[in-house]
């Protein structure tokens, strides 16, 4: 499995842990790594859940590796993690940050999931779409949009323009498939986000067909909210979400 390969940045390694019958797929963001999701992974593992947090192909190594990966590769990384969990669990939830949120929604539109929780998900980022037309090979980094002093994201120091084209494609694909999402939905949105316009979350909320859905504003975090001041709120609310819909399924 790609997400389990070695020889990656320290802290960017994939995490696959077998636990109880509740399985969680956790997906990191564009140019980011598993490190940005580690607080959630640790919290879910402590609750005994089965965990899969893959390293998306081309991430956590070098920007040159990322340049050679595609949107289809990122989807495959997410699908392989989902299948790993599905083979072990009766109840499967997916959650992700930014591109990880986009991929979570993709899984929710193509697979049977019991709930999806997304954090600052991306389906329409005009700034990135315009940068994808750049004649440069690389542009400046987009990681570490964090309000909390001293907190940093383990991410690439530059962004391959070729990868931006793939990001634009997958955002458009998921945007078109939102009406296929019917699983319970929890959407976290930073009120100030310098990477993904917060309006993305409202569009997703409005377009999905989920009966149980909720928008949760994050008032004290920027884009990488999983490492920011609202980290505990995200952990607390996602744990409540998982337990609520697991119990509903069991009953």
Per-position DSSP letters for 148-187, written without gaps between them: STT------SEEEHHHHHHHHHHHHHHHHHGGG--S-EEE
Alpha helix ranges (H) inside the chain: 38-46, 63-67, 71-86, 99-110, 126-131, 161-177, 199-207, 231-250
Q: Which of 36, 98, 163, 190 is catalytic?
A: 98
Residue 98 appears among annotated catalytic residues: yes
166 is catalytic: no
| Residue 193 a catalytic site member | yes
Two tokens, residue 22: 């509740």
The catalytic residue among 145, 221, 223, 228 is 223
Query: What does the alpha-carbon distance between residue 249 and residue 23 come to, in Å, rounded to a whole number?
Result: 14
DSSP 205: H
Active-site residue identified among 114, 193, 228, 230: 193
Tokens of 149: 């002093």
Q: H/E/C letters for each residue in 76-108?
A: HHHHHHHHHHHCCCCEEEEEEECHHHHHHHHHH
User: What gap in Å lies between CA 236 and CA 250, rounded to an integer?
Assistant: 21
Name the residues annotated as catalytic: 98, 193, 223
């Amino acid at each position: 499995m790609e997400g389990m390969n070695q020889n990656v940045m320290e802290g960017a390694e994939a995490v696959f842990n077998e636990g109880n019958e509740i399985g969680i797929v956790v997906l990191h963001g564009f140019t980011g790594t598993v490190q940005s999701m580690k607080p959630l992974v640790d919290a879910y593992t402590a609750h005994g859940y089965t965990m899969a947090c893959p390293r998306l192909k081309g991430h956590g190594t070098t920007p040159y590796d990322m340049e050679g990966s595609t949107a289809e590769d990122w989807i495959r990384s997410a699908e392989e993690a989902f299948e790993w969990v599905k083979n072990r669990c009766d109840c499967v939830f997916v959650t992700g940050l930014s591109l990880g949120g986009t991929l979570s929604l993709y899984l929710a539109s193509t697979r049977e999931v019991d709930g999806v929780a997304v954090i600052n998900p991306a389906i329409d980022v005009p700034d990135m779409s315009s940068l994808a037309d750049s004649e440069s090979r690389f542009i400046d980094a987009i990681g570490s949009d964090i309000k909390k002093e001293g907190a940093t994201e383990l991410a690439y120091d530059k962004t391959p323009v070729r990868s931006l084209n793939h990001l634009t494609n997958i955002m458009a694909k998921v945007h078109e498939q939102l009406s296929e999402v019917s699983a319970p939905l929890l959407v976290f949105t930073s009120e100030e986000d310098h990477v993904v316009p917060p309006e993305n979350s409202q569009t997703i909320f409005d377009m999905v067909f989920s009966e149980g859905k909720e928008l949760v504003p994050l008032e004290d975090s920027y884009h990488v909210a999983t490492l920011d001041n609202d980290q505990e709120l995200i952990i607390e609310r996602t744990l409540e979400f998982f337990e609520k819909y697991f119990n509903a399924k069991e009953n």
